[in-house]
Chain A
Amino acid sequence: MKTELLAPAGDLKRAKTAIRYGADAVYLGGKRFSLRSRASNFELADIAAAVRFAKEHGAKIYVTVNMIPHDEDLPGLEDYLQQLESIGVAAVIVASVHIAILSKKIAPTMEVHLSTQQSVTNSAALRFYQKLGVDRVVLAREASLDQIDTIAKRSGCDLEVFIHGGMCVNYSGRCTLSNEMTLRDANRGGCAQSCRWKYRLYNGETELSDPHRLFSMSSKDLIAANEIPALLRLGITSLKIEGRMKSAYYIAVVVDAYRKLIDAIQQGENEAEAVENCIKLLKKAENRPTADGFFHGIPHAQHHLYGLEGETIHQEFVATVKDTLPNGKVRIILRNNLPRGIEIEVLSPHKEIRTFTLHTLTHQGVVVDTANIPMEIFEITVPFAVEPGDFLRKKGV
């Protein structure tokens, strides 16, 4: 069985990017019934377009219907599920038993995948959902590799495991910190990430916390490059990347890195070298500091972010290819400062990273030394073929 690489997308452009860079399936959210409401930019027509693009490339689209609904949220749900089925969505990801049962009943050709919001941590709990007809279970992030192995063997169910991205520090779905702190319901897409705030810790009236390094629950992001070989051997159905709010560049880098790793292992290449290469590629994305989550046991202090270390924003991503012209000319959409004379790396789907030195740079026909107007179109010369949507970044930053 081929293991699926599953990527997130916050809009159609990012869905296409994920598929071009090697995702076997993409999950995305509509305007309603989905968590990450701010990341859900898909109208039904956009979802249909994503489905068409995915089918053309042999990929699948899953739609998150993963809010934990209150009664007032439910009107329109049945129509929505049937519409998703009619446009060819392969599966819905749900966090409600009611929605799981309803979807199987009224949209039977769509698979139902149980969200990690239900915090399934063992094979006996999983059986409850199997009896309901759930096709796949996204395991809780709290499961270790050994536990995942046993769950896989005992359940015989299709399993999905998170391999990369942000981590809830609490059991997903069981946290109301955001409700308490900001009146925003995490289970309905409003999570304010109050766990990442700074707190003072007291024992009675005595402060224990270090004022220069306050208490926080903030978790480092997950990285599972080292664990991919084991997950592939376990026959896990789907390896999932988190981050529907992440940029197209981030998605391209992360999907590309894991795609190359999975392919290398499946083709029998040297695992250690493939893992090392994957980690090197992942470092080009704007991650928070990363750790291995629960894969090897309960996280320790070094799995948390106590200081000011937030997301690392690299300035190395400089442009995307808009289109190509004759004679190696390429029009790019600028994203970050780009001086002439530097070495550029090109990130293209299913290709090794290629480099060139930027000798020509023009703006509206005028030669410039530096491109520095974000989202403006510049023209450069590239000594090899590139495609629209390819990413350019500075080498060695």
Chain B
Amino acid sequence: MKFYSILRSFDQLSALHRAGADGVVLGIDRLSYRMPKYTLDECFDILSEAKAYGMEVFLSLNRLLDEDEILEAKSFIDQIENHGFDGIYFQDLAYLDFCAGQPMQRIYAPEAIITSSREVEALCANGIDRVMAAKELTLDEITTMASANPQKIDLFGFGHLPMSFSRRPLVRNYLEEIGLDLKFAEGMELRIKEAKRDVYFPILEEDKETVIFADTIFCALNELTALDRNGVHAIIVDDLFVDPKLLTTFIRSCKNVLNGDDPRNELENLREIAPELDLSSGYFYQKTNLTKEGASL
């Protein structure tokens, strides 16, 4: 199993390498969201240094493209051709068209819609190399899907899970409605709290998307060996809203767990860095198939 980290600053690269990350994932201005944004020149610099470390380098081009943006996206793909990037994560299937014939892994990463073994099989039979599984899956469901499609599934493994994304500037619109300065929308500490519960969800607004994240930090450390044993290809980790030191510690812990260490001990290491860390196992042990009649609101 491989470990790929979102690279939020160039400075992190060597630390991630030392921690055992197998690769890094970069974002690009205008084509990515909830990602660190690099210029193409910066990407080439990172690529060069990462390759010197023996690391893989991926681009996460995860925006859904408007019709008037597809030429720009295609042009970007043409510019990176044969430069040695290992692959792209994308959620707009337009990229399959743009990447045709290029020696890059095509990893389809929509936010929520890959939820069955058959879906993975169908996508991988139609030009996609791997997929990111949906986050609203139980551990049993993921391992079933992975064992039916070995080395075809990547999984988000550490960080705040994105819950929704909108094309609307939800924060700016609200600030406009109540007459507050729109600059507040640029903040990295924005949170929303549902009126009836004491839980704060980070909310991030960028130029063209607004994303709401889960309140807790999803952590797949306990489930790592099962995921590895069943053929999950890679775990993606992200330190958005999180102390970057946690990321390197998490990756080291993952490597230790795969070498036989007890995950409980490794979780303690994480808690030493952040004693109040609110970790969660996401939907690994919690189905979300209740009906209105069965749910307690």
A contact residues vs B (CB 8 Å cutoff): 37-38, 68-74, 95-98, 101-102, 117-119, 121-125, 127-129, 131-132, 140, 142-144, 146-147, 150-151, 154, 169-171, 173-177, 179-185, 187-190, 192, 194-195, 197-204, 208-210, 213-217, 219, 294, 298-301, 303-304, 306
B288 contacts chain A at the CB level, 8 A cutoff: yes
Q: How far is the CB of A312 from chain B (nearest CB, A)?
A: 20
Please state if B67 and A180 are interface contacts (CB–CB under 8 Å).
no
A-B contact pairs, 13 of them (CB 8 A): A71-B145, A74-B118, A117-B113, A147-B68, A169-B170, A171-B111, A173-B113, A176-B163, A180-B163, A184-B290, A201-B203, A203-B184, A299-B168
Q: Which of B65, B96, B167 neighbours the largest number of chain A CB atoms within 10 Å of its CB?
A: B167
Interface residues of B in 155-181 (CB under 8 A from A): 163-171, 173-178, 180
Binds A, one of B41-49, B135-143, B220-228, B242-250: B135-143
**Complex: chain A residue closest to B214, CB-CB:** A180
B66 near A122: Cβ-Cβ < 8 Å = yes
Are B69 and A122 in contact (CB-based, < 8 A)? yes
Residues of B within 8 A of A203 (CB): 184, 187, 189-190
**B169 surroundings in chain A (CB, below 8 A):** 298
Q: Are B180 and A208 in contact (CB under 8 A)?
A: yes
Instruction: Find chain A residues with CB under 8 A from B117 CB.
Output: 71
A201 in contact with B190 (CB, 8 Å): yes
Residues of A within 8 A of B145 (CB): 71
With a CB–CB cut-off of 8 A, which chain B residues contact A199?
192-195
Q: Which of B21-29, B78-86, B120-128, B266-274 sits within the interface?
A: B120-128
A98 touches B121 (CB 8 A): yes
B93 close to chain A: CB less than 8 A: yes
Give Cα distance in the complex from A203 to B193, angstroms: 11
Q: Which residue of A lies closest to B64 (CB)?
A: A121
A123 and B67 within 8 A (CB): yes
Contact among B164, B178, B290 for A195, CB-based, below 8 A? B164
CA gap between A33 and B164 in the complex, in Å: 23
What number of B residues sit within 8 Å (CB to CB) of A? 75
- Taken together as a complex, chains A and B put the C-alpha atoms of A72 and B117 apart, in Å, by 10
Q: Determine whether B286 belongs to the interface, using a CB cutoff of 8 Å to chain A.
A: yes
0/1 string, B262-288, CB within 8 A of A gives 1: 000000000000000000000100111
State the 10 A-B residue pairs at the shortest beta-carbon distance, nearest first.
A124-B94, A174-B111, A179-B288, A147-B67, A98-B118, A98-B122, A199-B192, A128-B93, A301-B177, A175-B164
- Establish whether residues B193 and A202, one from each chain, have CB atoms under 8 Å apart when the complex forms: yes
Contact of A128 with B177 in the complex, beta carbons under 8 Å: no
**A177-B212 in contact given A122-B67, A125-B92, A217-B170 (Cβ < 8 Å):** yes
Contacts of A129 in B (CB 8 A): 93
Closest chain B residue to A132, Cβ basis: B126
Distance in angstroms between the alpha carbons of A132 and B125 in the assembled complex:
11
| Interface assignment of B76: CB less than 8 Å from any CB of chain A | no
Q: Which of A128, A150, A174 contacts B110 (CB 8 A)?
A: A174
Question: Is B52 at the interface (CB under 8 A from chain A)?
Answer: no
| Given A101-B122, A128-B96, A176-B164, A187-B178 contact (CB < 8 Å) | no
Give bound CA distance, A124 to B295, whole Å.
Answer: 40
Are B136 and A197 in contact, with the CB atoms below 8 A?
Answer: no
Closest to A198 in B: B195
Q: Shortest distance in angstroms between A342's beta carbon and chain B's nearest beta carbon?
A: 38
Residues of the B chain whose Cβ atoms lie less than 8 Å from the Cβ of A298 = 167-169
**CB distance A182 to B297 under 8 Å?**
yes
Given contacts A122-B69, A124-B98, contact A202 B291 (CB under 8 A): no
Q: Do B289 and A294 touch (CB < 8 A)?
A: no
Q: Tell me which of A68, A70, A142, A201 contacts B192 (CB under 8 A).
A: A201
B121 to A: closest C-beta gap in Å? 7
Asked if A187 contacts B113 (CB within 8 A), the reply is yes
Q: Which residues of A contact B144 (CB under 8 A)?
A: 71
Q: B167 to A184, Cβ gap below 8 A?
A: no
Instruction: Select from chain B the residue with minimum beta-carbon distance to A174.
Output: B111
| Complex Cα gap A202–B92 (Å) | 32
